[in-house]
Structure 1
Amino acid sequence: MRAIARAKSSTGGGPLPLRQRVAGEGPLRAGAQEERAPELTDRPLTGRYRTVVGGTPARGRTLARADVAHAMPAVLADPSTVRRGVGVAS
């Protein structure tokens, strides 16, 4: 059985939440908002969605899986998205 390394908070607290470990971030500041992914739905393609490089679109609650698939080629072709997160929401 392999030992799993756990990322520790720089303040000496417990392990960092998964979102912070994946993003390589430290502990959240007091009062900071945590970004959440929109709920994926099985609705058909609408072609009406918003993207934000390095963030999450405001008020983006749901997103059709077909719209995610539609957005991917454009995001991958955009040089400004290299090594950056891209938020997609309807």
Structure 2
Amino acid sequence: MVSQFSYADERLWHVGYDFDFVDVGVPGLKFTFRYVSADYVDPTHMSGSEARELRARGARGNEWERYNEIAYVVQSGPLKNL
């Protein structure tokens, strides 16, 4: 993930899902999904026109991030566990 979601007073929630394809006959293949959403972000930690507008109004911002990963671990042979 790119964002740290660790600013003072920042509130966040996240949801995730993992699927191991061994259950459908493909050992070593895995899928991961994560979504994180945060609000009450201090605009001094943000950049761009939205941040300038929020600072001018004295308001707080928000951020979000989506993360997907598919990974495979070789099961046998000279590349096993790679």
Q: Which one has a larger percent helix, Structure 1 or Structure 2?
A: 1
TM, length-normalised to structure 2: 0.20
Q: Which one has a larger percent strand, Structure 1 or Structure 2?
A: 2
**Bigger Rg over Cα:** 2
TM, length-normalised to structure 1: 0.19
Higher relative contact order (CA 8 A, sep 6+): 2
